[in-house]
Amino acid sequence: MSGLRGLRRLAAVAVAGLASASCTNMQQVAETVAPAPVVAAATILEDAVTKDIHVAKASRAGMSDERLQRITEMTQRYVDEGKLAGVVTLVARDGKIVHYEAVGERGAEDDRPMTKDALFRIFSMTKPITGVAAMMLYEEGKFQLSDPVSDFVPELKELNVLVDGELKPAENPMTMLHLLTHTGGLSYGFNPADPIDKQYNEAQIWASEDLDEFAERIGKLPLAFEPGARWHYSVAVDITGLVVQRLSGMPFDVFLKERIFDPLGMDDTFFNVPADKLERLLPNHGWDPEEMKLVQMVEESFVRYTDQTLFSGGGGLVSSTMDYLRFCEMVRRGGELDGVRLLSPKTVEFMTANHLPAAVEGGGTGESPFGRGARGFGFGLGWGVVTDPVAARVLGSAGEYNWGGAAGTVFWIDPVEDMVVIGMIQLMGSPWPLRAELKVLANQAIVEVAE
């Protein structure tokens, strides 16, 4: 995915004659001829360096060290103003980590310094991982996007749609494409004034013991609209996790560990935090608008992180910044990292395209990274897709794919600029425009654009 720009960049460091070389080989030669200077361990973790991920000065990735410093200045300002406890930010381009900083403290009531290896509740940043799991099975011929979901989850076979207060049988089946694009008519229960969401809350879906019981409870609820009619953020990805479980014959958490996390070396990503790593799990926070201060939460929300048996493919994972970079780099590189291939480049290209029909527009609700009511935005198979950065009104590239989490985490992968950016905080319902600001500051640090 580095393409001609990757060649030009290598030429700039006196590596020539590589026009027919692979992207990986070009990077290996570049490191041999002109090794990337390794910065102080206080700035970048040593374990960040692998075959396909390197630490480098920003100039070697077509970026500016001085301009990247603006990210640290911005996050430090949020901490100094008491709006955030701590932040970890990471920018990588062409597999080169050019910015990786931890700012602030662990929590509002925990003044120990934030560390780069901190564990974060990533909530809906779990969704792209579930999407990749599903597409791995798609590549194995286990399902087609046109298949009815009820073929694999019969609990959803006979669904009704709530139309003007009346229940009517759904005219069209919910398909796997609907499930992967949030167009199946499912909801989340976020809006207590909405009649569908009221029923979701009354059904206590998050009290389910496991994914099977979860599907039973969802199957008794009406759809918010006819499948395919519109985009609506929902529990669809949790149902996708159940599909993965049933098609693979493996518990969903085991599938993720054995088929994705272990092969990619993602040792800090899990539904249940191991006892010896619990100390690294950060406290979560809320913002008190009346007192105008950050409040450290005492109790977890609907997700537990020990002894969990309901493995939420839509929002249940804990991860670290570096682990999530490894996942993102695998996708950016076309499905392979450090010699481990999970997906075909064609599959990655397919699932990162906008799959919403022209009549259906993606919404800026839920964990959409760049604001409510966002425009220029579509949806692929597991993540949001920027279709028009001008309409989105945030600096970026068409074709960028992204998502965020309820506690303020965010990532995006820019295939035009070969860039991955990750921002990690723990603040539920953050009122701050941190995500959009991070996007602007990461992009303004590019001094050599794609050609």
Interacting residues of 430 by C-beta distance below 8 A, sequence separation 6+: 287, 407, 408
C-alpha 173/C-alpha 437 separation (Å) is: 41
β strands within 284-349, DSSP E: 285-288, 293-296, 318-319, 336-337, 340-341
pTM of the model: 0.88
SS3 state at 264: helix
Give the model's pLDDT for residue 283.
96
Instruction: Classify strands 384-386 and 401-404 as parallel, antiparallel or unpaired.
Output: antiparallel
Give the model's pLDDT for residue 304.
78
What stretch of H or E contains 134?
helix 127-139
Between helix 23-33 and helix 3-12 the angle, nearest 10°, is 10
Give the model's pLDDT for residue 344.
98
C-alpha 325/C-alpha 290 separation (Å) is: 37
C-alpha 178/C-alpha 202 separation (Å) is: 25
SS3 state at 361: coil
Which residue, chain included where needed, has tokens 């303004």? 444
C-alpha 213/C-alpha 418 separation (Å) is: 41
Interacting residues of 88 by C-beta distance below 8 A, sequence separation 6+: 100, 101, 102, 103, 114, 116, 118, 120, 321, 422, 423, 424
Please list the pLDDT of the chain residue by residue as tens digits (451 residues): 443 333 333 233 222 222 222 333 323 323 332 333 333 333 444 445 688 999 999 999 999 999 999 999 999 999 999 999 999 999 999 999 999 999 999 999 999 999 999 999 999 999 999 999 999 999 999 999 999 999 999 999 999 999 988 999 999 999 999 999 999 999 999 898 999 999 999 999 999 999 999 999 999 999 999 999 999 999 999 999 999 999 999 999 999 999 999 999 999 999 999 999 999 999 999 999 999 999 999 866 557 799 999 999 999 999 999 999 999 999 999 999 999 999 999 999 999 999 998 777 665 456 666 555 567 889 999 999 999 989 888 899 999 999 999 999 999 999 999 999 999 999 999 999 999 999 999 999 999 986 6
Which residue, chain included where needed, has tokens 């760049």? 370
Instruction: Count the Cβ atoms, other than its own, within 10 Å of residue 13.
Output: 13
What stretch of H or E contains 350?
helix 345-351
Give the model's pLDDT for residue 354.
95
Give the model's pLDDT for residue 392.
84
C-alpha 187/C-alpha 223 separation (Å) is: 8
Give the model's pLDDT for residue 220.
97
C-alpha 400/C-alpha 387 separation (Å) is: 8
Give the model's pLDDT for residue 143.
98
Say how many residues make up the chain: 451
Give the model's pLDDT for residue 112.
97
Which residue, chain included where needed, has tokens 């010699």? 339
Give the model's pLDDT for residue 159.
94
Give residue 396's Cα distance to chain centre. Answer: 17
Which amino acid makes up residue 307?
D
Which residue, chain included where needed, has tokens 């092969």? 263
C-alpha 450/C-alpha 389 separation (Å) is: 16
Domains and CATH numbers, the chain: 1-35 (no CATH), 47-125+257-444 (3.40.710.10), 130-250 (3.40.710.10)
